[in-house]
Amino acid sequence: MQLLEKHEDCEIKKPVESALSYGTDDITRSILGDVLSEMILSFNDFEKVDLPERKMLLSPWIQESDIILISSNPGVGKTWFSMEICSAIQSGRVAMAGLWNVENSVSCLYCDGEQHWDDIKKMGKFIGLGDTRVLSKTYLEHNNVNPSLNLGTPVVRDLIYDYIIKNKIRFVVLDNLFSLWAGIDLDNATEWHEPNQWLLKLRSKGVCVVLLHHTNKGGGQMGTASKLFNINTALILNKPTLKRRNSIGDGIASFRIKIEKQRAKCTGLDAYTFTCNDGEWSYTDKKEGSSGSAEDSKALLIALLLLDNKIKKQSDIGKLVVCVPSYISQIKNKHKDLFEPDGSPNSKGLDLLKKNRKPLQSFYEKNELEKK
């Protein structure tokens, strides 16, 4: 405005002053006015709009556009866990010792805000991150990149968003909230507004984002509960009473999953204790201190579901018990002595069903399946 005051007769003065006096609300009204009249539709018309179908990434629980929060105390294994998921979705391989299978492989980005680049290299090699893109805060700072990787800064968020969209990345891990959103009070619901809007913007583009976070003294996710409002799935990783070894690649992660929030109905996430040794994952469904194996209990449940024949498709059984369909075929072949040639249960199969009717019914009720 000082420049304009010096040039009273300048022809550009009036239109510039007019633009400067045109407030933000007026601009918003001008832009959105015509658009809203076209975008607000009856449901019948909205239903006919050709929009991309939401795809399952990691069956049975991670889809496009999901926002997932994974919290734990330091050292439990959330970084290893998220790297394993990232590696599977990038490469298309099974995850967590074959429990979860990839239905749609997509490009992934792993953003790390605290690990030394040397640790990222070692961990990524053990897990097999391969073609997963990696953005390391310590690597940027080592190369004197300024500003630093701080998603609390609007311009940095915009640059990361543009990179994600331009490179068609559909799965992003942010490790972790404290280190990547420096300067934001995570206890303050108001300060979470901008990060939340950024996450929702990514959701609208089909991008799934996994946020890693710390737990509080009570065992829940640290900070304001408003972080959970738009979350699809919130998990807490709890350290089991198993002796953990500290050398890298040798018992470096061991935890049980507690579901804090889950919009999509699926079972099995909280049924196992997971352990990573030498870059390989293993699991057991036994409670701490009890005996039994994951394979035995899962095989029995699959056999009962096949005998009862309520759920017709093996792929649907796989989603409920968290396994790949080929494993169900293996169980059916292994226990073919329970079936008649036409696939119906024989006398031995009927006896097994009778003995296990109560736990099977409990499984149906837990999954809201009515017995036909």
How much is the pLDDT for 336? 85
For residues 234 and 351, membership in a common domain is answered with: no
> Does residue 4 sit within a domain?
no
pLDDT tens track for 19-69: 444 556 777 777 777 788 788 899 999 999 998 889 999 988 999 999 999
For residues 233 and 184, membership in a common domain is answered with: yes
How much is the pLDDT for 297? 62
Give the domain range for residue 330. 294-366
pLDDT tens track for 278-297: 667 877 765 444 333 334 56
For residues 322 and 352, membership in a common domain is answered with: yes
User: Token pair for residue 295?
Assistant: 């394979």
Domain end call among 284, 312, 343: 284
Model confidence band, residue 332 (pLDDT cutoffs 50, 70, 90): confident
For residues 127 and 94, membership in a common domain is answered with: yes
Model confidence band, residue 353 (pLDDT cutoffs 50, 70, 90): confident
Most confident of 2-6, 197-201, 275-279, 299-303: 197-201
For residues 227 and 305, membership in a common domain is answered with: no
For residues 221 and 309, membership in a common domain is answered with: no
> Does residue 206 sit within a domain?
yes
Name which of 42-46, 99-103, 188-192 the model is least confident about.
Answer: 188-192
For residues 241 and 308, membership in a common domain is answered with: no
> Does residue 121 sit within a domain?
yes
> Does residue 29 sit within a domain?
no
> Does residue 3 sit within a domain?
no
How much is the pLDDT for 318? 79
Mean pLDDT of 325-329: 78
For residues 146 and 274, membership in a common domain is answered with: yes
Given a cut of 70, whether residue 113 has pLDDT beyond it is yes
Determine what percent of the chain is predicted with pLDDT higher than 90: 33
> Does residue 310 sit within a domain?
yes
How much is the pLDDT for 13? 42
How much is the pLDDT for 69? 93
For residues 252 and 321, membership in a common domain is answered with: no
How much is the pLDDT for 159? 95
User: Token pair for residue 356?
Assistant: 């296990």
Residue 120 CA to residue 118 CA, distance in Å, equals: 5
Given a cut of 60, whether residue 112 has pLDDT beyond it is yes
> Does residue 49 sit within a domain?
no
For residues 265 and 325, membership in a common domain is answered with: no
Domain end call among 260, 284, 308: 284
> Does residue 240 sit within a domain?
yes
Domain count, the chain: 2
For residues 241 and 351, membership in a common domain is answered with: no
How much is the pLDDT for 246? 37
For residues 166 and 309, membership in a common domain is answered with: no
Domain end call among 249, 284, 319: 284
How much is the pLDDT for 136? 95
How much is the pLDDT for 24? 65
Given a cut of 50, whether residue 5 has pLDDT beyond it is no
Model confidence band, residue 251 (pLDDT cutoffs 50, 70, 90): low
Check which CATH number belongs to the domain holding 210 and give it: 3.40.50.300
- The 3-class SS string of the chain reads CHHHHHCCCCCCHHHHHHHHHCCHHHHHHHHHHHHHHHHCCCHHHHHHCCCCCCCEEEECCEECCCEEEEEECCCCCHHHHHHHHHHHHHHCCCECCCCEEECCCCEEEEEECCCCHHHHHHHHHHHCCCCCEEEEHHHHHHCCCCCCCCCCCHHHHHHHHHHHHHCCEEEEEEECHHHHCCCCCCCCCCCCHHHHHHHHHHHHCCCEEEEEEEECCCCCECCCHHHHCCCCEEEEEECCCCCCCCCCCCCCEEEEEEEEEECCCCCCCCCCEEEEECCEEEEECCCCCCCCCHHHHHHHHHHHHHHHCCCCCHHHHHHHHCCCHHHHHHHHHHCHHHECCCCCECHHHHHHHHHCHHHHHHHHHHCCCCCC
Mean pLDDT of 341-361: 84
Mean pLDDT of 154-173: 96
